[in-house]
Amino acid sequence: MLVSVYRYNPETDLKPSMRDYQIEIPGGKDLMVLDVLAMVKEQDDSVAYRRSCREGVCGSDGMNINGVNGLACITPLSDVVKNDKLVLRPLPGLPVVRDLVVDMSIFYKQYERIEPYLQNDDPVPAIERLQSPEDRAKLDGLYECILCACCSTNCPSFWWNPEKFVGPAGLLQAYRFLADSRDTHTDERLANLEDPFSVFRCRGIMNCVAVCPKGLNPTKAIGHIREMLMERGA
């Protein structure tokens, strides 16, 4: 199989280029893209990419696989390879540190901005803040995000305004805390999202939903945030 990998080392290369590798794929099993990358690395150990848990939990190996963002470790070749060719590029829209490794600073900055932690001004109870099973169920489909950035880097609004638009990953987490019955800072959270960029740059094209490796739905969460903003402001 022909594997074409985006190569760029800012210290030695004037500009990025694609380098091709011929990889023998053993028959009889369906490898993951990450396995193929390991085989590429055996041929050429200068290839740089991030990986850690290799089972879709850590979110390190988000990359653009044959044009679609995904986690290399849980993307089987049979899902993405056509005409015996695999093209691997870094996540689009973020600065490239080297090869498939991108600088995620702006992505984390937007995550930090939505204050992704429980805020409650009520006196701290002796043991813990309780939540009914119904209220806990509201967090399903929100808390599972692993911050791999596949969604935000597939979003044109995030490409054009990454400093101002929170992006689907950040907004999914913003709603995770807006929806939490134990959080008392709902009003402040909403006030900080009401400007024309933070939430409202979402045009609802659902690119985020199409690529989320965990099957989450940021567009739906953004819709809920809009509803809450409407309740509060209209």
Partner 1 sequence: MGMKNMQVSSVTNFGRSGLSDWLIQRVSAVILLLYIVCHSAIILSTPEMSYAQWRELFAGTTMRIFSLLTLLALCAHAWIGMWTVATDYLTRRMMGSKATLVRLVFLVGCIAVLAIYFIWCVIILWSV
The footprint of partner 1 (CB under 8 A) covers 109, 112-115, 156-157, 160-161, 164, 192, 194-201, 226, 229-230, 233-234
Q: Closer to partner 1 at the Cβ: 161 or 181? A: 161
Q: Which is nearer to partner 1, 148 or 202 (CB)?
A: 202
Minimum CB distance to partner 1, residue 116 (Å): 10
Please, are residues 8 and 99 in contact by the beta-carbon 8 Å criterion?
yes
Q: In what order do the strands lie in the sheet with 68-71?
A: 17-22, 2-7, 85-89, 62-65, 68-71
What is the Rg, in whole angstroms, of the alpha carbon atoms belonging to the chain?
20
Provide the minimum distance between the beta carbon of 139 and partner 1 in the complex, in angstroms, as a whole number.
Answer: 21
Between 54 and 164, name the residue whose CB sits nearer to partner 1: 164
Rounded to a whole number of angstroms, the minimum distance from the CB of residue 166 to partner 1 is 9
Closest CA to 173 of 196, 149, 136, 143: 143
Amino acid at 173: Q
Tell me the H-state helices in the chain.
33-43, 77-80, 105-113, 133-137, 156-160, 168-178, 186-191, 207-211, 218-233
Cβ distance to partner 1 smaller for residue 98 or 201? 201
Q: For the chain, report the end-to-end CA distance as a whole number of angstroms.
A: 57
Phi, psi (degrees; rounded to nearest 5) at 86: -125, 120
Least Cβ distance, residue 109 to partner 1 (angstroms): 7
Residues 94 and 160: their CA atoms lie apart, in Å, by 11
Element (H, E) at 70: strand 68-71
Question: Which of residues 20 and 112 has its CB atom nearest to partner 1 in the complex?
Answer: 112
Closest approach of partner 1 to the CB of residue 210, in Å: 20
CB nearer partner 1, residue 60 or residue 153: 153
User: What minimum distance in Å lies between the beta carbon of 17 and partner 1?
Assistant: 23
